[in-house]
Structures are given as C-alpha cells and as structure tokens.
Structure 1
Amino acid sequence: MALPGAAVFERAGLDTWPGIEVEWDGDWVRRATGGYTKRANSVQCLNAADDGDVEARVAAAVAWFNARNLPPVFRMTPLAGPALSATLERLGWRTIDASHQFAMPLGPTAPDPLGRIFAVRDPVWLAIAQQLSGYDDARQARLEALLAVIQVEACGVAVFDAAGLPVASALMAIADGIVVTGNVVTAAAQRRKGYGAAMMATGHAWAHAAGATIAALNVQADNAGAQALYRGLGYTHQYDYHYRLAGTT
C-alpha cells in the first residue's frame, strides 16, 4: 500500500490535534490552544506555492500570537515555501525540536490483554494520563481543553501491569482514514518491558476496527528509543519537520 504525501498527513494532523482558535491566511493556518504543545500553538503553511508577501504575513502571525500571550512559533514541514524559510532565517528565528513523521499501512491487529480503550474525556483515563505525564493541574487543564474540541473519532489508550497499575498511555484519533497517535508516555521505571508495544497494539486494534487504514505519529529526531519501538512495529520515516521560534536565545 502506497502511503500519502505530507499534505495528507498534515491535514489529518489538523483534525486529530486541533486548535481551539484557528485563523487561515491563504494556505497558512494559525492555531492557538492555550499554550499546550507547540504543534497546536503555531502557524504552518500547507502549500509551498503560497509563498508571497512573506515578511508582512510573518509580522501578522507574530502579532496574532502576541495578542494571545503566546510565543510566536512556525511549524516547518516540507509544505513550507522557500521564501518563508529564508525570511525566518534572515529575521533570526531559531530552529528547535527536529522531528520525524513516521507512518505505516494499518492491518488487523490484536489488542494486548493488558490494554484498555477509554473515551478521551473519561476521568479515569485523564487521571492516568496526568499521573504518567507528571502534569500539574494547569497543564492538565490545557490538555483537557484541547480534547474538548476534537471532532473526529478518538480514544485514550492505557496499559496496566500485572498488579493493575497503569504503566503507559496515549491518545489516538482518526481523520481521513489515518490514525494519529500522540501523548505517548510510559512510566520511567517500566520502560523497555514491552508496555509501549502493548499500548500501540491495543490502539491499532481499535483504530483498524474503526476504519483506519494508515497509522501515523511524530517522533523527535533525538529519541532513538521511541524510533526503534515504532520501526519495530512497522512504521517508516516519511519526512522531517522542525519548529522556528522568534529570537536567538
């Protein structure tokens, strides 16, 4: 099965990881979600050909984020035009968080016996996700605000150890037949014990039953352990992206 290009994955990402506030400027989209993650609080271009009047549009984006007390951030994928990249470089925007898009065809998968599926706003799963992520109440509230605006089919996934304690969790959502996984976390003391793979198998089984035919996720370029896990499950590298932040410090 041939996998789609960056435009399809990025459009699916807008639906599975939505902004609370969204404003379009041609094929550039600005999104704000109270500061929870750079991805949901950034501007990105969805069409490399929409590359005109860049400096004024960057300035407008900066003003938009400043008005919301958020740091101006650009998500730079292969869909960003060369003039945008050159302008941000000239203005001194720094590059951070080099990352990869991974994906694979999704076939029938058996859920792990230790895995469970939850509604994304189920208080039990929210408590598990907060505990494993180590979020304070303010950050957890920002996550829950994002979950409240997801319009596509989504679930929370958790894996429990033999004693019934939660050891791993993730969020999965489906758009355009693509299940996108995010917020993957395994308890530090429980890593390299197969719980991450169990969690992914459980979520993949849910997604396939819900009609997904492709699985996708983002992983940071310096996270070798996560990349090894995903490659072992069948994911392959699709393209790279990074973020640009205003300023040099």
Structure 2
Amino acid sequence: MVTIGADRLMQAISPHGNLPLVRRLEAVGFRAWPAASVVYDGSWQVRLTGGHPSKRLNCVVPLDPSDYRDAAIRIERARKRFEHYGRPLLVRETPLAPQPLLEALRADGWAPFETVNVMTADLAGLELPDTISHLPSHDIGRYIDASLAVHEEDPAIKPALAEILSAIKPPTGLFIAEDPGNGPLAAMLCVQDNDLAGILSFAVAPDRRRQGLGTEMLTAALRWARISGARTAWLQVDASNASALSLYHRFGFREVYRYHYWRQETGA
C-alpha cells in the first residue's frame, strides 16, 4: 500500500515526538494566526496582541529543547513585556520546550491549565462526503461578523480580528453558513500554506450543532484546500472538546502532538 501525506508524516514520529514535524506545524500555525507583536528571546518566541485575548496570540513559546539558559531572567523579562500589554504571562509548552525550563516553572509555582491536540489528516487519500457545497468568501467584514456571532464573542474585538485576518500571508478561504432569517450559523477559516492546509476558528451556532452543518463546513473547506493543492490538513482542538474530536476523527484526523498552556498560580 502506498502511503503519502499525513500517513507518511505520522509513521515518522518517534516515541519522543517527530521534532521536525512539530517545528513545521508550529511554523505554519504562526503564519495562519499571526500575532501583532512577535519578538525573540533566543529561540523563545514572545507573542502579544493587545486587542485580542486569544492565548495563541499572547504567550511565550520556547522552540528549542536545549535553550533554557538564564530561564528565570528571561521569564521575568517576558513578564514585564506582558504587563505593558495588560496581559497575564502564559507559556505554551510544545514538544520543543526544554524540560529544565518546565521543571523550573513548576518549582516556582507554575502549572499547566489547558491542553490542545494538534492533528493532521491525509487529504490526498481522504474520501469526502457528498454534502452541500459552501464556497469560500473573500469578504473579511462579513466573515468577522459571522465568526463573532457563532463564537458568541465580544464585538469589541472586531478591529483586532480584522487586523489578524488581514495579516495572514498564505491564501485563505473564509467559510460562512447563514440563514436569511436567523443570521450566521457557522464560520470557519482555512489557510493553505503550500502543501499544508490549516482549519482554524471553526464554530457552529449552539442551536445548529449535531445537525450535519459541521460536516458540511469541514467538507467544503477540505475540498477547497485539496483543489488548491494542499496534501495534508492540520488543526488544533481543545483536548476536552469531545464533540469536535469525534467529528475530526471521522474525517481521518489523528493526533500528532499536544501542547499545554502554563501560568503561575495565584499567590505563588
């Protein structure tokens, strides 16, 4: 049997993780959801976005397992930078994070508080269901209004979300499902970065879940990505989101690695 795309990538993963694959998925993830401010402290990426609360846009991401020298000084330096933005300091632990850094954080009263699965699927061999087609939109304003509605997010972040979407460099499909009488029903962002396509910011309105709309939207995005030349799809999903995980598993997505957010416990 010939193996391609995500199958070959998955087979390459060692018990300790396929770090080159992790680096590649991290890189496309940064490009697909760009922070307003990105600076480097050694190999640590310090990401901040004043107008948007997304943890992915406001965290420190260590990207080299061997880079932990002067960790306490660098954490304090990052803390001051986050304070200037009015943000709590968060560290995002991927398989690239140095273990001595994590041990030092735990000793200083830090703890992980959220786990996210990074998953991939082989688009080349994927049989997509025959569903209603949803074509991508290029209307950023319309997409933002729909996304805020179905995510039930604060409309005040609309300008920041517009800046994020406008800053995405790779080709992007904005997928929206609407009802003329009831407004937005679902929204999804698909970012194609060469042979990789990322599914981001996917949500279905609470009263329309478990009715097949999620399957329709995901099918439409993956079909568009495949036609556009993507070979592998990737996404990030909260490890506790059982319904989303069930949907993604049905489409052949499998976990590649997990990451965790860390914060310092109050009073530590």
- 1:229-248 pair list within 5 angstroms: 229-248=247-266
Change in 2 beyond 3 A, CA 1:203/1:16: same
TM-score where L is the length of structure 1? 0.91
Query: Is the counterpart of residue 22 in structure 1 residue 38 in structure 2?
Result: yes
| Residue-by-residue CA offset, 1:85-136 (whole Å, 9 max, x unaligned) | 11211111232111211111112757842423112x5322222112212222
| Aligned-residue identity in percent | 27
**Matching residue of 2:136:** 117
Q: State the one-letter code of the partner of 1:218.
A: Q
- Distance in structure 1 (CA, Å) of the matches to 2:255 and 2:203: 21
Q: Is the 8 A contact 2:44 2:61 kept in 1?
A: yes
Coordinate RMSD, CA, aligned? 2.1
Change in 2 beyond 3 A, CA 1:76/1:212: same
Q: State the one-letter code of the partner of 2:31.
A: D
- Distance in structure 1 (CA, Å) of the matches to 2:82 and 2:259: 21
Query: Is the counterpart of residue 137 in structure 1 residue 155 in structure 2?
Result: yes
Superposition deviation, residue 177 in structure 1: 2.2
Q: Is the 8 A contact 2:149 2:184 kept in 1?
A: no
Which runs of 5 or more structure 1 residues have no equivalent in the other structure? Answer: none
- Distance in structure 1 (CA, Å) of the matches to 2:101 and 2:155: 37
Which runs of 5 or more structure 2 residues have no equivalent in the other structure? Answer: 10-19
Superposition deviation, residue 155 in structure 1: 1.9
Q: Is the 8 A contact 2:196 2:234 kept in 1?
A: yes
1:208 to 226, 230, 246: 226
Count, aligned residues: 248
- 1:52-67 pair list within 5 angstroms: 52-67=69-84
- Distance in structure 2 (CA, Å) of the matches to 1:113 and 1:162: 17
Q: Is the 8 A contact 2:194 2:229 kept in 1?
A: no
- Distance in structure 2 (CA, Å) of the matches to 1:213 and 1:143: 28
**Matching residue of 2:59:** 42
Q: Is the 8 A contact 1:118 1:125 kept in 2?
A: yes
TM-score where L is the length of structure 2? 0.85
- Distance in structure 2 (CA, Å) of the matches to 1:147 and 1:212: 20
Superposition deviation, residue 60 in structure 1: 1.3
Change in 2 beyond 3 A, CA 1:134/1:162: closer
Change in 2 beyond 3 A, CA 1:111/1:31: farther
